[in-house]
Structure 1
Amino acid sequence: MDQCFAKQKSEARNKNNVNFCVENKDTPKSDVVVAVIQGVPVDVLIDSGSTISLISSALLKHFDCAHKPSFRILRGLGSQELETTSYVTLPIEFDGLTLEVDLFVVESKFMNTPIIVGTDVLNREGVQYVRTRDSQSLTRKATNCERVMAIQSDKSISVNTPLTGDQLQRLLDIINKFSEYFISGTATSTVNAGCMTIRLTSDTPISYRPYRMSHNEILRVREIINDLVSKGIIRESESDYASPILLVKKKDGSDRMCVDFRKLNEVTVKDRFPLPRIDDYTDRLGHNRYFTSLDMATGFHQIPVSEGSIPLTAFVTPEGHFEYLKMPYGLANTPVVYQRSISKTLRKFIDSGDVHVYIDDVLILSRTIDLGFHLLHQVLTALTEAGFSINLKKCSFLTEEIEYLGRKISQGQVRPSPSKVKALVESPEPKNVKQVRQFLGLASYFRRYIPNFAQRSACITALTKKGVEFNWGKEQQAARNDLIERLTDEPVLAVYDPSLPIEVHTDASSVGYGAILLQVHDGGHRRVL
C-alpha cells in the first residue's frame, strides 16, 4: 500500500466508487443462502470471487462480539478501493455445519447483502459448496443484488494495542481522524518545522567517480532512483559535488542504496543541538502506567534541504548524477536536524513530561486510559499540522508494557530489551582488538544492570590498551560468560520516584570505582535505580 488510507478513501469517494453494485440485470444471480448466527437467521452471499468474508456494520449491532483492529484496503472492480478498520469472529451455521468465520466490517451502504462469505471459508478443508441446475447443498434465496464484484484483500496492517470493546473503537476513531498521515512506505509530504542546512569548513568540491557495480546492482539502483525521483526526494544534478553510492543488504535480503558521505561529513560544521540521554528518559517515567509509541515514517525524507545546500548532497551512480531535495540518510547532522524539528513541534508535551522524543521515536506517557487518549489526540494534532507522517505498523497504543530505545518498560520497572540481550549473547568470541571494543561497546549499553561492571570486565578492557599483546584466554572468556549470564537472568531496575528517599552506595578498588542509587520503598525494601 503505497498511498495513505485517507487518500485512497478520498479518491474512491471522488469517483463515486462502491465495491458492490448492480452491473447488468442479465447477469446470473449470485448465491445467497440463509444461515444462523447467534440464533438469528441472516442472508449470506456465497461469493467465490471474494478472497475474504465481510459483514455490514448495521447487522453487526445485533450480535455480541468483540472488534479486533485490522486495517485493510478492499479492492473491487476497476481497482475500486474501500477501507475497513476491524473484523469480528462469529459462528455461522449452514444447515448443521457451523464455522468460525473472520468477518471484516464494512459500512452498510456498500453492502447489498449483510454478509459475504468468500474463498477464505470456501477453500477450508472439509467445507464443500455444491450447486447444480436442480439442487444445491445450501438453501438459496433471491436477492436484489444482480452482481457483486470480486473483493480482494490488499495489504493488512494490524493495530498493536491490548484495548477491546468501546476503548478499541475510541482508538480506531482517533486513527481514522488522522488516517491521511498514517502511511505505509515512503512519506512524500514535507515537514514545515525544520530544514537541513549544510555548512562546510572548505570550499573545495568533493567529487568521486561512481563505484563499480554488477549488472543486477545497476538495475536495482535504477529502480531505486526512479522511485526517489517520482516521490520528489531527489532530482538530476549539475553540481560540482559527487559522492559515490553503494548497495547494502537489509535483514530481509532487499537492497538499500546508501550514499557515501564520509568525505563530506569530514568538512561539515557539526550541529550542536543535543540528542537526549536515554537514561534520563527512563528516570522520568514516574508513575505512568500506559504507553503509546509512535514511529515516524521515513522521517528524514520529510525534512526539506535548503536551496543552497541541495548541490552539496549530490551523488553519482553508474548511470547518472542526482541531488537531494529532502534530507538524506548518512549526513553528519541528519539525526540532530530531525531531533530539533520534532522537538520544536512537541515542545510543550516534552516540557510537561508527557512525551519523550528520541529522533524519530515518540513515547506518550499517561497514568490513565482517558489521559492517554487525550494526549494521543493532541500529539497527533501537533505532528500532523507540522506535516509529519507515521508508520502505523510500528506503533503501539496504550499498552502497559512496551519496548523503547532498547529498554522494556512496565509497571515501574525497566529491563534490557530481549533483542539487545540476544545480540550480545550471539556475538562471536573476539578475535582481535577491534572485536573486543565492539563487544565492550555492546556490553556497556547494559552496565546499569550489571553490578561492578568495571571490575567484571577489567580483564577484557585491558586488551584494548596500547602496547598490550592480544591474548583472549580463559580469564577473558569467563568474564564474557559472566556478563552474559548476568543479563540473561533478566535484571530489573526500578523507575525513579521523586517522592521516595534516595541512598547512594559506593565502592572502589585498584581496578575501578563506582556507585549505585537506591530508593527505599514501603517496608524498607530497597530497589536499584
Structure 2
Amino acid sequence: MKIPWPKEFEAVAELVGVKGPKAELVVLGALLRGRAKAVYDSLDGAGGKTTGEAVAERLAAEFGSPVDGEDAPQKFRLARLPVDGGPLVLAVELTRLLRRALPSLDEESEAQLLASQFVESVPATVSQQLKLVNAAQPMDISELAKVTRQLMTRTVAPVGCEKQEMSNVEKKIEELEREIAAIQVNNKRNDKCYACGGTGHWKINCPTRRRRRYVRRYNECSFYPRNLGIVALVDRGAVYTRVNINERDLVCLIDTGAAVSLIGKEQCKRIKPCTLAVHTIGGHMLEVFGVSNSIVKLGDAEINFPFVVTTSLSRPILGADFLKEVKAIVDLRNGKVVTKYGSLTIHESSEVAEIRVAADVSSKKPNIHELCKKYAKLFTGDGEPYGLCDRVKHEIPIKNSRVNIFASRRVPVHLEAEVNRQVQEMLKEGIIEEADSPYSSPVLLVKKPNGKYRFCVDFRELNNITDLKPCAMPTVVETLDRLQNATVFTVLDLRSGYWQLPIKQSDRSKTAFTVRDKQYQFKRMPFGLAGAPFTFRRLMTLLLKNLDNVEVYGDDVVVYSQTEADHIKHVEAVLKRIDEFGLRINKDKSQIAKSSVTLLGHKVGNGEIKPLPEKILTIKNIAVPNSKRKLRQFLGRAAFYSRFVKNFNEIAAPLYKLLSGTKFTWTDTAEQTFNRIKNMLDDRQMTLRLLEPGRLFTVATDASDHGIGAVLSQADRVVEYASSHPLNRSIQPSKRSV
C-alpha cells in the first residue's frame, strides 16, 4: 500500500534545511508519537543499519494492515472535534478514516456520509446550528468545516467561561470542605485519617477524597458492528420503520450509532429494575426505569429482545445491539433493512411511516390516500379472511382412468403436533375439508429460515399423471421491460393468491392427504400442483382484461404510470376490478404509489433497474463448488443477472466447460473465474436503463474464439448486455465480423 507521507516529509525536511538521510531519520524519530514511535524504536534497537526506506516500508506495513482497516469504521464513528485542532483537521481525519473503512464507496455516498458524520462529531451547541444551516442548503464537509469555524468563534468564549466557572466552583467546594474539617479538629483531635494522614477526621470524611460514583455506562458504541452489513449509506437524516413490538405496530427510529435499544415506559409490559446509565450523544443522562424483555415480530419470527426502558421517548430506538442480533443489512439506497427473518421498509420521516399504505410521491395529493380508504376492505393481513374468486376453477385432468395409490410418508413424532395445528388452522379458514378419497399424497414439513415450518403436500406422483393445459407465461425480463417511461409504481401482492381460487368439486379428492387416522382434501388450489401456475395465470388475464398500464407476474400486480394523476386512475381501475372478483391484497407486502419499488428481485424506479443488494450478497457468499450440481446452482443464480454484466457468458465459459465433461475437476482457472464472477457482481455498478419507446437504439457487437457479446443502449446508457459461449465449436472468422 502506497502512502504519501514519505514524499511530504522529504519536501518539508529539505525546506527547513534538514539534509542527509541520517539527519532525516533523527528528525523523524523525534516527531513520531505513540504506536508509530514504537515501530521506529523497534527498528532502531534491532541492530544493523536503519534506513529511511526500511522505516517507511515498516510503517506502511504496520498502518496498512487489515486490522488497522477494521478499526477505521469505529474510529470514524467515534471521531470528535480535537481540542488541539480545528474543524478542518476533523474534516481531513474523517475523510481519511472513511476512505480506509469503505474504499469502494462512490463519491456521492461518500460526500453525504462525511457531511452527516461531521455534524455529529462537533459539539452539541454547534451541531444543532449546523443541522439547521445544512437543511436549508446542503453542504459538503469542507463547507461545513468553514461554517463550523465561524460558529465556534462566536460560541467558544461562553463555553470556556462555563468550564472555568465550574472549575472555580469545584475549588471553592474543596476549600470549604477543608475549613469544615479544620473546625472539627478541636473536637476530634484523637481521630486519625488513614487516607491523608491528618487528624481530626476519619477516612470516610476526608476532604481530599473525591466521592466516586459507580455507574455502569454503555460507551462501547462502534461505528457499526463488524458483522452488520451496511449498503450505500446516502441518507442525511433519521430514518424510521414500522415494527410490531409487544403486539403493537410501532414506528421506530433506526440508530446504528446507539449502543442499546430503547423503548418508552408506556410501550412495554414488565420492567425489571437495573442500574444502567445511558447517555445521549450530547452527554445528557437519560432516566432509566429498567429493562423490558419485549416480543418483536419480524416476518414469521418472534424474537424476545431486551429493551432499555426510559422516559421522554416518543418512539422506540432500534440500536446496534438489536441490528446485530437480527444480522441486519441497512440499505438506505433501496429503503430496506434486510434481516435474517425478513425485510423492513425504511421511511425518511416518522409521519410517512405512520401511514400503513405509504405514498411517497403523492404526499401533496391526498387522492391516493382517499382511494386506499375507499378500498380498505381489500387490504388484509394475518388472521383476516382470504378472498375467493369462483370465475376460474382449477381442474386436475388425469391421463388415464386408473386410480393410483401414492406412497405415504411418516411424519416425525416431534412434528406431529405442528402438523395437527396447521391442519386445524386450514380447516378453520376453509382451505381444506375432511375427505374420503382413493388418492393420498404424502405430507411433509419444510423448515423455513426463521425456524418455523411450512406445511407441504408432495404432489409429484399426482403431477406425473396430470394432463396439463399450459398457457403463455411472461418472463421476468419481459415484465420489467414493459415498465417504460413510468415514474410512479404500485405493486399489489395478492394474499396467498392460490388459496383464493377454488378447486373444481369433482377434482378435490385428487388432492387428498392423510394425517394420522384422518384424511383431508383441498377446497382451494394448493401450492405444488403442476397446473396451478397456468390456472392462476388465466385468472390474472381475465382480471386485467382491457386495463391499461398494468402487468402481472405470479401473484404480483404491477401498476405503472407516467404521472401521478394518471396513476390514481390506473390504480383505481385495478382495485375496482379486484373488488369485483372478490380477491384480497396483502397489506404488508404491497407498495402503493412509489417512485421506486422492489419487484421480482430488482429495484425499479427513476428510469433505472438494478438488482437488490441482498440478492447479490447471497451469490457472493456461495462457497467454492465441489460438485457439478453445486456449480450448476451457482451459475444459474449468477446468470440470472447476466443482462447486467458485460460478456458474462464469455467470462464464465471455463465454468460451463466443467459441466460438459464426465469428471468434475476444480482447477486454478476455474477458481479464478469463480472469483472474477463474484467481483463483477457489484450491485452499485449493475444499473440498466428502462426502455424508452421512440428513442434510437444502438447495438454494439463483438466476437472472439471464446464467445459473442452485444450491448443494447439508448442515449449512451446501457439497456441490456447479451453474450453467449460456444463450448463445442469455434466461431468462423467470417461470422465474427457480421
Distance 1:306 1:457, change over 3 A: same
Match of 1:421? Answer: 616
> Within 5 A, what are the aligned runs for 1:31-430?
119-120=266-267, 126=287, 158-163=356-361, 165-167=363-365, 169-185=366-382, 187-349=385-547, 352=548, 354-430=549-625
Match of 2:115? Answer: none
Question: Are residue 501 (structure 1) and residue 696 (structure 2) matched?
Answer: yes
Specify the structure having the higher radius of gyration (Cα). 2
Deviation per CA, 1:373-421: give whole Å up to 9, x if none. Answer: 2221211111121011100110111111211112211211111222221
Distance 1:88 1:423 in 2: 27
Q: Is the 8 A contact 1:427 1:439 kept in 2?
A: yes
Distance 2:502 2:242 in 1: 33
Distance 1:292 1:254 in 2: 30
Query: Which residue identity is paired with 1:478?
Result: Q
Q: Secondary structure at the match of 2:418?
A: helix
Query: Could you tell me which of 477, 480, 485 is aligned with 2:679?
Result: 485
Deviation per CA, 1:108-166: give whole Å up to 9, x if none. Answer: xxxxxxxxx992499996399xxxxxxxxxxxxxxxxxxxxxxxxxxx99434425755
Match of 1:145? Answer: none
Distance 1:120 1:259 in 2: 41
- For the aligned residue pairs, the C-alpha RMSD in angstroms reads 3.2
Distance 1:85 1:262 in 2: 41
Match of 2:178? Answer: none
Distance 1:88 1:441 in 2: 38
Distance 1:347 1:497 in 2: 24
Q: Is the 8 A contact 2:490 2:592 kept in 1?
A: yes
Q: Is the 8 A contact 2:494 2:583 kept in 1?
A: yes
Query: Which residue identity is paired with 1:126?
Result: E
Query: Which residue identity is paired with 2:405?
Result: S
Q: Which moved more, 1:338-347 or 1:295-304?
A: 338-347
Match of 2:179? Answer: none
Q: Is the 8 A contact 1:402 1:408 kept in 2?
A: yes
Q: Is the 8 A contact 1:157 1:392 kept in 2?
A: no
Higher relative contact order (CA 8 A, sep 6+): 1
Distance 1:502 1:166 in 2: 36
Distance 1:514 1:281 in 2: 23
Match of 1:108? Answer: none
Deviation per CA, 1:473-507: give whole Å up to 9, x if none. Answer: 22112112212211215311111112111122222
Q: Secondary structure at the match of 2:557?
A: strand
Q: Is the 8 A contact 1:433 1:464 kept in 2?
A: yes
Match of 1:438? Answer: 633
Distance 1:69 1:380, change over 3 A: farther
Distance 1:492 1:71 in 2: 31
Distance 1:260 1:254 in 2: 19
Distance 1:475 1:70, change over 3 A: closer
Q: Is the 8 A contact 1:210 1:318 kept in 2?
A: no
Q: Secondary structure at the match of 2:521?
A: strand
Distance 1:348 1:318 in 2: 49
Distance 1:270 1:512 in 2: 38
Q: From the two aligned structures, give the one with the greater helix fraction.
A: 2
Question: Are residue 459 (structure 1) and residue 620 (structure 2) matched?
Answer: no
Query: Which residue identity is paired with 2:610?
Result: R
Alpha-carbon offset, residue 242 of structure 1:
0.4
Q: Is the 8 A contact 2:378 2:579 kept in 1?
A: yes
Q: Is the 8 A contact 1:69 1:87 kept in 2?
A: yes
Q: Secondary structure at the match of 2:402?
A: coil
Q: Which moved more, 1:329-338 or 1:483-492?
A: 483-492
Q: Where do 5+ consecutive residues of structure 1 fail to align?
A: 1-67, 76-83, 90-101, 103-116, 129-155
Distance 1:71 1:212, change over 3 A: closer
Distance 1:216 1:410, change over 3 A: same
Deviation per CA, 1:419-461: give whole Å up to 9, x if none. Answer: 2212211222111011111111111101111111121111100
Q: Where do 5+ consecutive residues of structure 2 fail to align?
A: 1-239, 254-262, 272-277, 279-285, 290-353, 721-738
Q: Is the 8 A contact 2:361 2:595 kept in 1?
A: no
Query: Which residue identity is paired with 1:340?
Result: R
Q: Secondary structure at the match of 1:347?
A: coil
Q: How many correspondences in the alignment? A: 392
TM-score in terms of structure 1 length:
0.68
> How many percent identity over aligned positions?
27
Query: Could you tell me which of 476, 480, 484 is aligned with 2:670?
Result: 476
Distance 2:671 2:434 in 1: 53
Distance 1:163 1:118 in 2: 35
Q: Secondary structure at the match of 2:438?
A: coil
Distance 2:462 2:484 in 1: 42
Q: From the two aligned structures, give the one with the greater strand fraction.
A: 1
Deviation per CA, 1:193-214: give whole Å up to 9, x if none. Answer: 3110111212332323532223
Q: Is the 8 A contact 2:362 2:564 kept in 1?
A: no
